[in-house]
Amino acid sequence: MGGARFIAGDWGTTHLRLFLCDGEGTALDQRNGPGAAESTGRFATVFASLTADWDSEHGPLPVTLCGMVGSSFGWVQAPYVPCPARSQQIAAACTTIEGRIYVLPGLSCQNRFGAPDVLRGEETQLLGVLGRLEPRQLVCLPGTHTKWAVVEEGEIRDFFTAPTGELFAVLREHSVLARPPQGGDAAIEAQAFNRGVASVVAQPDAQILHRLFECRSRTLSGDLPATAAAAYLSGLLIASDVHGARRALARAFVPGTVVLVGAPRLTQLYASACAALGLHTDQVDGATASLAGLTEIYHRLS
Amino acid sequence: MGGARFIAGDWGTTHLRLFLCDGEGTALDQRNGPGAAESTGRFATVFASLTADWDSEHGPLPVTLCGMVGSSFGWVQAPYVPCPARSQQIAAACTTIEGRIYVLPGLSCQNRFGAPDVLRGEETQLLGVLGRLEPRQLVCLPGTHTKWAVVEEGEIRDFFTAPTGELFAVLREHSVLARPPQGGDAAIEAQAFNRGVASVVAQPDAQILHRLFECRSRTLSGDLPATAAAAYLSGLLIASDVHGARRALARAFVPGTVVLVGAPRLTQLYASACAALGLHTDQVDGATASLAGLTEIYHRLS
């Protein structure tokens, strides 16, 4: 483990995670802070207060930051880089603050449905896994807005967005379809998730619109415990997301694995749905991938 | 036009509409009142106060009521009749109050996706259009929970539910995808609705999950006015509902028309989406269909 060489930061909408890193990107120390939404107008102050003691000990270090810190409501706006994009293009498009802080851009593309699409933050996770990918690989980054990206020979070709997590949250909180579980049992919920997945596997080409009401009707008919309706909904949504992506990407899919990058809780759910649909997966922790991507950019810029 | 013979009422969750009718079901007079949700514990009082003067003039008349008035939170519970179901079975399953008020049951079925499904209120609208249907006909009843029903030779075979209206409402109000329009222009919104429909027509088999983010990304990229994002979302959802239903019902579809029954504002939107997908439609006002269904039940029970 070497000495401190740079600071890496993932500054999303709701959280900031800063790492003091050695030259290999190994975290020597960590600080957590407020997300970009809460830091409007005081990004510099927030950053300085969290890194002051690192500065005193090591002098001012280079910094690589990704996430909403580079959005229109961020510290500086780091414009989207159009796909296809490689690591060096993303590095070259970083926006610099105070000569030593590099804010990563997001990516844009025309997606496979003919619509404009964007991501911000996930480009860094993609950079973090580029080295371990097959020559042609599908990467899924599950979240509020799940991203499906096609990567070929080190190049992020294109991607599209499925607001699977957001849809789940708004339906659970605001619809009559799946009320929040009260006193839910983890085993019963896991079983309900698997039933939701199995429902999609049985009729994979059904429009998810025509399956959502099941969460309620199965509860009303006594076929599903009310506390498990949300887990059933989650299974329906994630399996529909996976099968729909497979169909949309039929030509891009290779017989290999789908690489899942994100919070382990989420990648595990996607891995279960993928397995039920006959797809192999490889899971990578999103925080690890992000730090690896920030390290890659540090190497390119130093 | 004959004298008053019966009272017909559509008592949904949020509204009550009562009609004083002649023997043909022509409305001679009308009263509006509070919905079932608001009438809990005082259904009899609400009904009596609204019909007192009709009673004094005509004496106590037979009454046919449909909608949530027969649900578990209604005046009485009128249990679901399992499909396939005909008019006479629905009439026979009415629950009687005070010997003269007949509350229609809802319908249940195992739907084409292998899930239990239910409807309440739409059975009356279906009864109201039975006489004008082809021997094998698809009927779509758009709403918060759109119902797609297959009717053959006077028999309601089965149906399924698409919570298209509810999904639209929760996404517009609670997601980042399509904020409510402010100062929207009707012409621009109509154009955006048609663009959403055209988007689905261009790639009809896409999972709607993978199209929703477009509402936001097209707005961000300047491709769609922010005030029209909700109309675009509506086009995406309704066209996906129609195409998905067509696919699910491939064997049930006949080369004839789809009969659309509901609020004219909604059946018009579904008719536009159907036309763009190459389907002919016939629109029936839901209130008219409901009154015809309540009349049909009055005839069967009198």
Indicate the residue of A211, A213, A244 with minimum beta-carbon distance to B210. Answer: A244
Q: Please give the angle made by the CA atoms of B207, B208 and B210, to the nearest 5 degrees.
A: 75
Tell me the chain B residues in contact with residue A166 when contact means C-beta distances shorter than 8 Å.
175-177
Q: Is A213 at the interface with chain B, CB within 8 A? A: yes
Which pLDDT does position B302 carry in this prediction? 83
Q: Is the pLDDT of residue B44 over 90?
A: yes
Q: What mean pLDDT value characterizes chain B? A: 94
What distances in angstroms separate CA A156 from CA A75, A81, A132, B170, one per listed residue? 26, 11, 14, 33
Indicate the residue of A170, A177, A241 with minimum beta-carbon distance to B209. Answer: A241
In this structure, CATH architecture of domain B164-285: 2-Layer Sandwich (3.30)
pLDDT digits (tens, 9 = 90+) for B126-151: 999 999 888 889 999 999 999 999 99
Higher-pLDDT residue of B251 and B234 is B234
**For B200, how many CA atoms within 13 A lie in the half-sphere containing its CB?**
31
The whole-number average pLDDT for the span B192-205 is: 96
The whole-number average pLDDT for the span B25-49 is: 96
The 3-state secondary structure of A10-50, one letter per residue: EECCCEEEEEEECCCCCEEEEEEEECCCCCCCCHHHHHHHH
The answer to whether the CB atoms of B115 and A240 lie below 8 A apart is no
pLDDT digits (tens, 9 = 90+) for A9-25: 999 999 999 999 999 99
| Residue A242 pLDDT level (bands cut at 50, 70, 90) | very high
User: Which positions 245-264 of A are in contact with B (Cβ < 8 Å)?
Assistant: 245, 247-248
The whole-number average pLDDT for the span B156-167 is: 97
pLDDT digits (tens, 9 = 90+) for A261-300: 999 999 999 999 999 999 999 999 999 999 999 999 999 9
For chain A, give the DSSP string: -----EEEEEE-SSEEEEEEE-TT--EEEEEEEE-TTTTTT-HHHHHHHHHHHHHHHH-SPPEEEESGGGSTTSSS--PPEESSEEHHHHHHTPEEETTTEEEPP-EEEE-TTSSEEEESSHHHHHHHHGGG--SEEEEEE-STTEEEEEEETTEEEEEEEE-HHHHHHHHHHHSSSSPPPSS--HHHHHHHHHHHHHHHHHSTTS-GGGTTTHHHHHHHTTSS-GGGHHHHHHHHHHHHHHHHHHHHTTTT--SSPEEEEE-HHHHHHHHHHHHHTT--EEEEEHHHHHHHHHHHHHHHH-
Which pLDDT does position A257 carry in this prediction? 87
| Residue B253 pLDDT level (bands cut at 50, 70, 90) | low
The C-alpha of B110 sits at a distance from chain A's nearest C-alpha, in angstroms, of: 10
Distance from C-alpha of A65 to C-alpha of A16, rounded to nearest angstrom: 10
The whole-number average pLDDT for the span B236-264 is: 88
| Residue A112 pLDDT level (bands cut at 50, 70, 90) | very high
Q: What is the ipTM of this complex?
A: 0.93
Which pLDDT does position A184 carry in this prediction? 74
Contact criterion met (CB below 8 Å) for A125 and A131: no
Which pLDDT does position B278 carry in this prediction? 92
The answer to whether the CB atoms of B117 and A170 lie below 8 A apart is no
DSSP B31: E
The answer to whether the CB atoms of A207 and B248 lie below 8 A apart is yes
In this structure, CATH architecture of domain B6-132+288-301: 2-Layer Sandwich (3.30)
What percent of chain B stands above pLDDT 90?
Answer: 88
The whole-number average pLDDT for the span A246-268 is: 86
Continuous segment of H or E residues that includes residue B126 = helix B122-129
The answer to whether the CB atoms of A166 and B145 lie below 8 A apart is no
pLDDT digits (tens, 9 = 90+) for A42-97: 999 999 999 999 999 999 999 999 999 999 999 999 999 999 999 999 999 999 99
Which pLDDT does position B93 carry in this prediction? 97
Q: Is the pLDDT of residue B1 over 80?
A: no
Which pLDDT does position A1 carry in this prediction? 52
User: Which positions 133-172 of B are in contact with A (Cβ < 8 Å)?
Assistant: 145, 160-164, 166-167, 170-171
Which pLDDT does position A93 carry in this prediction? 97
The C-alpha of A20 sits at a distance from chain B's nearest C-alpha, in angstroms, of: 34
Q: Is A222 at the interface with chain B, CB within 8 A? A: no
Which pLDDT does position B254 carry in this prediction? 61
pLDDT digits (tens, 9 = 90+) for A137-188: 999 999 999 999 999 999 999 999 999 999 999 999 999 898 766 677 889 8
> Where are chain A's structural domains?
6-134+287-301, 164-285
Tell me the chain A residues in contact with residue B221 when contact means C-beta distances shorter than 8 Å.
108, 116, 118
Give the length of chain A: 302
Q: Is B224 at the interface with chain A, CB within 8 A? A: no
Give the mutation candidate from A207, A215, A236 for the B interface (greatest B CB count, under 10 A).
A207
Tokens matching residue B129: 């259009």
CATH of domain A6-134+287-301: 3.30.420.300
Distance from C-alpha of B272 to C-alpha of B250, rounded to nearest angstrom: 20
User: Which positions 107-126 of A are in contact with B (Cβ < 8 Å)?
Assistant: 108, 113-118
Q: Do domains A6-134+287-301 and A164-285 have the same CATH topology?
A: yes
Which pLDDT does position B29 carry in this prediction? 97
The C-alpha of B2 sits at a distance from chain A's nearest C-alpha, in angstroms, of: 43
Distance from C-alpha of B196 to C-alpha of A155, rounded to nearest angstrom: 31
User: Which positions 48-77 of A are in contact with B (Cβ < 8 Å)?
Assistant: none
**For B168, how many CA atoms within 13 A lie in the half-sphere containing its CB?**
24
Indicate the residue of A205, A220, A237 with minimum beta-carbon distance to B118. Answer: A220
Which pLDDT does position A250 carry in this prediction? 78
The whole-number average pLDDT for the span B159-174 is: 96
Tell me the chain A residues in contact with residue B246 when contact means C-beta distances shorter than 8 Å.
none
Helical pair B229-248 and B164-174, crossing angle rounded to 10 deg? 150
Give the length of chain B: 302
Q: Is A202 at the interface with chain B, CB within 8 A? A: yes
What percent of chain B stands above pLDDT 70?
Answer: 96
Tell me the chain B residues in contact with residue A160 when contact means C-beta distances shorter than 8 Å.
210, 213
Which pLDDT does position B185 carry in this prediction? 86
Which pLDDT does position B89 carry in this prediction? 97
pLDDT digits (tens, 9 = 90+) for B218-228: 999 999 999 99
**For A218, how many CA atoms within 13 A lie in the half-sphere containing its CB?**
25
